[in-house]
Amino acid sequence: MVIGSRFTIPGAELSERFSRSSGPGGQGVNTTDSRVELSFDVAASPSIPEHLRDRVLTGLGSRLVDGVLTIAASEHRSQLQNREAARGRLANLLLDASAPPPAKRRPTKPSRGSKERRLASKKRRSDVKRGRSGRFED
């Protein structure tokens, strides 16, 4: 499985478990194991480059149990579609977790012209409201 241009995970590192999906489904729901649990050991995987491993582990920190990422897919009625959905979700999670952090924001100041325009509009607005008060003083 290719994770963007960053790295590739061989199928041997993924483990799948199948079980029965919950919810409605008619007579076939009691006999087909269409739910898929896909597990990937992120902490011990040799496929993830060392420079990305810490970034991936911190990015997926809340989803990992002992360094293992588990994804369950049961939205489709067929096992094959659920396997594809789980692998796609795994790829997206790893791609997002291995992305570099966003660039820091450079603080900027408002320009002198924008400050003057803002103050001029406030002055115009206050003149309009003062004109509504019923007093005709200048």
The residue among 111 and 51 whose pLDDT is bigger is: 111
* For the chain, domain boundaries: 2-98
CA-closest candidate to residue 49, choices 7, 10, 9: 7
Per-residue pLDDT for 77 more than 90? no
Per-residue pLDDT for 27 more than 70? no
Count of beta carbons in the 10 Å neighbourhood of residue 67: 13
Q: How confident is the model at residue 24 (pLDDT cuts 50, 70, 90)?
A: low
Per-residue pLDDT for 29 more than 60? no
Residues 19 and 30: their CA atoms lie apart, in Å, by 10
Per-residue pLDDT for 61 more than 80? yes
Mean pLDDT (whole number) for 96-122 = 94
What would the CATH number be for the domain defined by 2-98?
3.30.160.20
Whole-structure pTM value: 0.68
* Amino acid found at 61: G
